[in-house]
Amino acid sequence: MRAKTLLALLITAVTTSSAQNANTAAQKKVYQTTLGGLTGGTVAPERLKTVIDSALTVRDERRKAYPVTGFRISYLFNSRFEDDETGLVTTKRALRTRDFDSDRLDPDWADSVRDNTRKGDELIFSRVMVRLPNGRKTFVPDLRIKVE
């Protein structure tokens, strides 16, 4: 009787260990977030203007696509301010941020980025969330684009 119990415990342990290893492998997928084919890094303003209204796409290492359900954009740019008293013009770094529950910027944001993009601006698409085949959602890597 003792041998049967020991055998049953051993089989349970091996089965549980195998299932945990399979789950760990599934969680270690490598995802890549892109915007209109841009994978991040530096980009010319003209190129960014042509893709800014594109959907964010996320693929794993096997090129399988996952639907994007939301993201946050942070738009860093240089803004010029003139002091009313002194007339002195200064340039300061400014930030605009907004969360979206979709796979793309809304038309107003896309138009604003398209109309105002200059060298030195940065766009960071963070908190990118995708829906997995099992229905659960997960965050994937950010996409950082700097305008050259």
pLDDT digits (tens, 9 = 90+) for 104-140: 999 999 999 999 999 999 999 999 999 999 999 999 9
Q: How far is residue 111's CA from residue 76's CA, in Å, rounded to a whole number?
A: 16
Give the pLDDT confidence score for residue 15 in this predicted structure.
46
CA dihedral 35, 41, 44, 47 (to 10 degrees): -10
H/E stretch holding 71: strand 68-82
Q: Token digits for 80?
A: 């010029």
Alpha carbon 111 to chain centroid, angstroms: 20
pTM of the model: 0.78
Please give the DSSP secondary-structure letter assigned to residue 55: P
What are residue 81's DSSP bridge partners?
A: 90
Tokens 């963070």 — which residue?
Answer: 126
Which pLDDT band, with edges at 50, 70 and 90, does 28 fall under?
confident
Pairing status of strand 137-140 against strand 89-100: unpaired
